[in-house]
Chains A and B, each alone.
Chain A
Amino acid sequence: MLKLYDTELSSRLLLGTARYPSPAVLSEAVKCSGAGIVTVSLRRETSGGKTGGAFFELIRELGVRILPNTAGCHSASEAVLTAKMAREVFGTNWIKLEVIGHHDSLQPDVFELVEAARILTDEGFDVFPYTTDDLIVGEKLLAAGCRVLMPWCAPIGSAAGPRNPSALTAMRAAFPDIPLIVDAGLGRPSHAATVMELGYDAVLLNTAVAMAGDPPAMAEAFAKATDAGRLAYLAGMLEPRDMAVPSTPVIGKAVFS
């Protein structure tokens, strides 16, 4: 069973809550995904506004764990304050730490990320860092106190799928005992299956489900692909070969000429 910061989870899919066509579709998608964790965010509330309260109530009714993010932060100090405000609202030490370094690619600023991770860990947070597939950054994040790593496989919202499977494989090998979650860039269920086959512990996705033609159905498809990939990884897969290997035994084959 997947274990993240001492919490056991039966599902290996984490789902974002943004960009759905309606709150009702969001709720249905979360249910169909079987996700035990959903990500949420914080934004400025308007005077007299109640939109945040309505959304929070909807999420609470889903009965899943909440993983607030620090999306949109560009420095360690911004991310740390946002994390503290998220803890105030959501009442959880969990934080998906995002510190964006580049506007177009939304690539994390890994230097600020490590610094923020260190500060937040010291403040009692359980940090889920959105990072790159860089091994040294992974080591620094673990040294900063993270007990989960969440590398991207492609830019956020790109639906491009794993662009560098070799790097993901190297990361799996480098951190065999650390839960690794592919966060960002997954577009299709087959992408989720691919990274799970590489031995990743879970996937976190949002846009691929939210912007699909039928988000609840796509959520279910991703859940099945994630489970299939995990099962295949545990079952032990064949390595590809260049030449054919007959599957039907040749011993005892009739000789007609």
Chain B
Amino acid sequence: MNLIVNGETQVLDTATLADLLQVLEYEGDWLATAVNGDLVHREDRADTHLADGDKIEILSPMQGG
């Protein structure tokens, strides 16, 4: 299925958000995730099922003013 990860369409066969992070090698406790504009808490990623066309945002800390 097509998933839009941080603005890029990717063909992935990952059932849950936790699976997606693992497949794409996102690691660390400093990430924040959202699916289709809604925050998904760290502890809910394994229960968050993905569907074709879902938009996933994966953010991490950076410098800011």
Q: Which of B18-48 contact A (CB under 8 A)?
A: 24-28, 30-34, 37-39, 41-42
Partner of A44, one of B30, B57, B64: B57
A207 near B59: Cβ-Cβ < 8 Å: no
Interface contact A17-B64, CB-CB below 8 Å: yes
Segment of A49-57, A140-148, A221-229 in the binding face: A49-57
In the bound complex, CA of A160 to CA of B54 (Å) = 44
List the B side residues contacting A51 at CB < 8 Å: 60, 62
Q: Is the CB of B61 within 8 A of A56?
A: yes
Q: Which single residue of chain B is at the shortest CB-CB distance from A83? A: B39
Determine whether the beta carbon of A89 is less than 8 Å from that of B31: yes
B62 CB to nearest chain A CB (Å): 5
- Chain B residues closer than 8 Å to A55, beta-carbon distance: 61-63
Contacts of A48 in B (CB 8 A): 24-27
| Residues in B neighbouring A84, C-beta threshold 8 A | 39
Inter-chain contacts of A56 with B (CB < 8 A)? 30, 60-61
- Give the tally of cross-chain contacts (CB within 8 A): 112
A17 contacts B59, C-beta separation under 8 Å: no
A206 close to B (CB within 8 Å): yes
* Chain A interfacial residues counted at CB < 8 A: 40
Residues of A within 8 A of B28 (CB): 50, 52-53
A85-B32, A85-B34, A89-B30 are contacts. A41–B64 as well, Cβ < 8 Å?
yes
Tell me the minimal C-beta distance from A30 to chain B in angstroms: 12
Q: What is the 8 Å Cβ interface bit string for chain A, positions 33-69, against chain B (1 contact, 0 not)? A: 0000001111111111111110110010000000011
Query: Judging by beta carbons under 8 Å apart, are B64 and A40 in contact?
Result: yes
Known pairs A45-B26, A88-B41; A18 contacts B32 (CB<8 A): no
| Contact in complex: A52, B62 (CB < 8 Å) | yes
Given known pairs A45-B26, A48-B25, the reply for A19 and B63 (CB within 8 Å) is yes
Interchain CB contact under 8 A, B37 and A43: no
A16 sits at the interface (CB 8 A)? yes
Q: Give per-residue flags for A218-241: 1 if the beta carbon is below 8 A from chain B beta carbons, else 0.
A: 000000000000000000000000
Tell me the nearest residue of chain B to A157, going by C-beta: B65
> How far is B35's CA from A229's CA once the two chains are assembled, in angstroms?
47
Whole-angstrom distance between the Cβ of A100 and the nearest chain B Cβ: 12
Is A167's beta carbon under 8 Å from chain B?
A: no
Known contacts A52-B28, A81-B37, A85-B59; is-contact A44 B65 (Cβ 8 Å): no
**Contacts known (A47-B25, A86-B32, A89-B30); A41 close to B62, Cβ less than 8 A:** yes
Determine whether B6 belongs to the interface, using a CB cutoff of 8 Å to chain A: yes
